[in-house]
Structure 1
Amino acid sequence: MGAVDSGGVIERDGTRPNPSVLGSLGYLAMNLPLGIAGFVAVVTLFSVGLSTAVVWVGLPVLALAVVGARLGARVERARIYAMLDTYIASPYVPLPERGRWKTRVRDVATWRDVSYFVLLLPIGVFEFTVMVTMWSLTLGLLFLPIYYRYLPEESWRVGDWDHPLIVVDSFVESLPFAALGLLLLAVALPVTKGLGRAHAYYARALLGPAPSFFGSYHAEPLPSGV
């Protein structure tokens, strides 16, 4: 985890992300609805704010967009820490006594936060699709010997109901499909964990301190505000 030295500086967590399977599954499944919400909020606020800034009406909207992006990024860093077991240090420059809004707008970390939420939508669609497809197929096959008898006509069918390609209506017939589900489970576990780890690296790159010239991360002072 990151540490705070005597100067009030957060050092980055240099450990390799190693999320659990359940944590990764829950996190990745949440990324679609959160990606939609984040994308809509960011695009709407900035579009309205920029289009009406000429008459000053848009300035409060832009201010709300900036603060909202930074607050959302704080929540996202906490969610990543809780579910992916990956610490991401705060990237923001300290806010001065005067010119706080100018500092927020000029801070590159603010716009990296905005980029993260814009990109979370397509990334969330991909992650959600992979997780739902892979796990529904895996669990559906794995537990077929248990639930096939509770389906209509006590059978599991693939294809047209009246002219199915495959019919499973006995425990013995369901066993090969359960074995296939077990094989898919052996694939789904590392894939889920790998996607969670990949997203943790991606989030650290955008939501964490900016990379230095030498490839490490700068430790930034603790911010005094959002």
Structure 2
Amino acid sequence: MERRGASFSGSLVYLLMNFPLGVTAFVVLMALVPAGVGTAVVWVGLPVLMLVFLLLKGAARVERARTYALTDTFVAMPYLPLPEGGHWPRWKARLRDAQTWRDLAYFLLLFPVGVAEFCLLVGFWATSLGLVGLPIYFRYLPDGAWYFPRWDDLRWITVDSTVEALPWAALGVLCVALSVALTKAMAALHTRFAAALLGPTARRRELLEDELVERELSVTSR
């Protein structure tokens, strides 16, 4: 993984996209994988599983491109060259390739990870912006005041004037700065997660380098 630094806007868009993408991937995989495995014994499921492999590889390529476009983090392609000899040897190679299963693990985990990231992101930003705008909107709340907490008779803090709201707005500005830092940190963590599953392992990198050397020697010897 090669990282050059991500902007705040890119990090924010990257994280917000993880939730819908994770839900979509989880639904598709949960529909296709059990159907393919369950009917593989009668050969009906084999085309379904082949479709899953193609979708996984294509989705992983798109995810690597999205990661690079939004966070400037390059995740190398980890796939070994497919053997020659027809479709069946190629499908067997894909099935035996550990990267296929690592791609599957990434898109299954993207759902819970995306949900957690979305909840943290929305929670921090809603709180921060809510505090910053408190001097403007508190008078439009019920009773013309903001209470914290607001459960039954528990109203330890009451804000019913602009003067009282300004310190909370200042705290909100600090929270915005913290939210910006949190957004970039969460995006950086997710790129590491993506690189760990979608990128080459140390062993795979060695195999790819050996394959490249063999190809160069083969071309040179001709």
The answer to whether the 8 Å contact 2:3/2:74 transfers is no
Counterpart AA for 1:128: F
2:45 is aligned with 1:55? no
CA-atom RMSD, angstroms? Answer: 2.4
The answer to whether the 8 Å contact 1:17/1:197 transfers is no
Counterpart AA for 2:11: S
1:125 aligns with one of 101, 115, 125: 115
Larger mean Cα displacement after TM superposition, 75-84 or 165-174: 165-174
Instruction: Give the TM-score taking structure 1 as reference length.
Output: 0.81
Counterpart AA for 1:115: A
Quick one: higher RCO (CA 8 Å, sep 6+), 1 or 2? 1
The answer to whether the 8 Å contact 2:68/2:75 transfers is yes
Q: Give CA deviations for 1:60-79 in whole Å, capped at 9, x if unaligned.
A: 11111111111111111111
Larger mean Cα displacement after TM superposition, 147-156 or 189-198: 147-156
Counterpart AA for 2:46: L
Q: CA distance change for structure 1 residues 53 and 217 in 2, over 3 Å: closer, same or farther?
A: closer
How many pairs were matched up?
207
2:146 is aligned with 1:156? yes
2:65 aligns with one of 67, 73, 78: 78
Q: Give CA deviations for 1:144-166 in whole Å, capped at 9, x if unaligned.
A: 12333444554333344885613
The answer to whether the 8 Å contact 1:209/1:217 transfers is no
Counterpart AA for 1:137: T
1:146 aligns with one of 113, 131, 136: 136
For 2:207 and 2:176, the matched residues in 1 are separated by 37
Gaps of 5+ in 2: 213-222
Query: Taking every aligned residue pair, what percent have the same amino acid on both sides?
Result: 51
For 1:62 and 1:125, the matched residues in 2 are separated by 27
Q: CA deviation at 1:39?
A: 1.4
Q: CA distance change for structure 1 residues 207 and 71 in 2, over 3 Å: closer, same or farther?
A: same
Counterpart of 2:77 in structure 1 is 90
Q: CA distance change for structure 1 residues 171 and 210 in 2, over 3 Å: closer, same or farther?
A: same
2:20 aligns with one of 13, 17, 33: 33
SS at match of 1:212: helix
Q: CA distance change for structure 1 residues 123 and 162 in 2, over 3 Å: closer, same or farther?
A: closer
Q: Give CA deviations for 1:87-118 in whole Å, capped at 9, x if unaligned.
A: 11111122344322222222221111101001
2:183 is aligned with 1:196? no
2:165 is aligned with 1:178? no
Q: CA deviation at 1:136?
A: 0.6
2:90 is aligned with 1:100? yes
Q: Say which structure is richer in helix.
A: 2
Q: CA distance change for structure 1 residues 61 and 177 in 2, over 3 Å: closer, same or farther?
A: same
The answer to whether the 8 Å contact 1:32/1:128 transfers is yes
For 2:206 and 2:135, the matched residues in 1 are separated by 52
Q: Give CA deviations for 1:153-207 in whole Å, capped at 9, x if unaligned.
A: 5433334488561332322111011111122123222221111111111111111
2:124 is aligned with 1:134? yes
SS at match of 1:157: strand
Instruction: Give the TM-score taking structure 2 as reference length.
Output: 0.82
Q: Which of 1 and 2 has greater Rg?
A: 2
